[in-house]
């Protein structure tokens, strides 16, 4: 399997996430307003940013794992059943470790 395109997509997404997480971290460390009403809004915004940051970190871990599978020659094979993952699925979800059947919520029959 030629993984060049998938690897490039993963590296591009990783760079995007690194930039986004950097902006989130910077925003979370900025000084807060002394106004109590604004502090309440800022606290709500911080909660949203923290959630986005956690989702981004989880996606980064999945991308790193996919890049590791590429390096080891196991990319494109389901980590659960070891069957090939369809190119269409990899195009949509290049970091996925699972075929459609083994994916959480997927069909469990072969």
Asked if residue 80 is part of any domain, the answer here is no
Tokens 């979370």, located at residue: 28
Q: What digits encode the pLDDT tens for the residues 9-23?
A: 999 999 999 999 999
Residue 55 lies in a domain: yes
Note whether residue 67 is domain-resident.
yes
In a domain, 29, yes or no: yes
Residue 60 belongs to a domain: yes
**pLDDT higher than 60, residue 110:** no
Q: Name the nearest CA neighbour of 42 among 53, 31, 51.
A: 31
Residue 57 domain boundaries = 4-75
- Estimate to the nearest angstrom the gap between the alpha carbon of 64 and the chain centroid: 9
Among residues 7, 11, 12, the alpha carbon closest in space to that of 76 is found at 7
The torsion angles phi and psi of 80, rounded to 5 degrees, stand at: -95, -50
C-alpha distance from residue 31 to each of 23, 54, 71 (Å): 14, 21, 42
Give me the number of domains the chain comprises.
1
Q: Is residue 109 part of a domain?
A: no
Tens digit of each residue's pLDDT (9 = 90 or more) over 17-74: 999 999 999 988 887 767 777 777 888 888 898 999 999 999 999 999 999 999 999 9
Tell me if 47 is assigned to some domain.
yes
* pLDDT of 75: 98
Per-residue confidence at 109, pLDDT binned at 50, 70, 90?
low
Query: What is the reported pTM?
Result: 0.81
């Amino acid at each position: 399997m030629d993984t060049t395109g998938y690897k490039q997509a993963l590296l591009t997404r990783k760079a995007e996430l690194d930039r986004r997480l950097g902006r989130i971290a910077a925003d979370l460390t900025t000084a807060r307003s002394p106004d109590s009403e604004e502090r309440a809004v800022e606290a709500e915004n911080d909660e949203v940013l923290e959630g986005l940051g956690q989702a981004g970190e989880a996606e980064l871990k999945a991308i790193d794992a996919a890049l590791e599978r590429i390096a080891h020659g196991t990319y494109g094979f389901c980590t659960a059943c070891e069957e090939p993952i369809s190119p269409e699925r990899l195009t949509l979800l290049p970091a996925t470790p699972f075929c459609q059947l083994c994916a959480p919520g997927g069909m469990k029959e072969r």
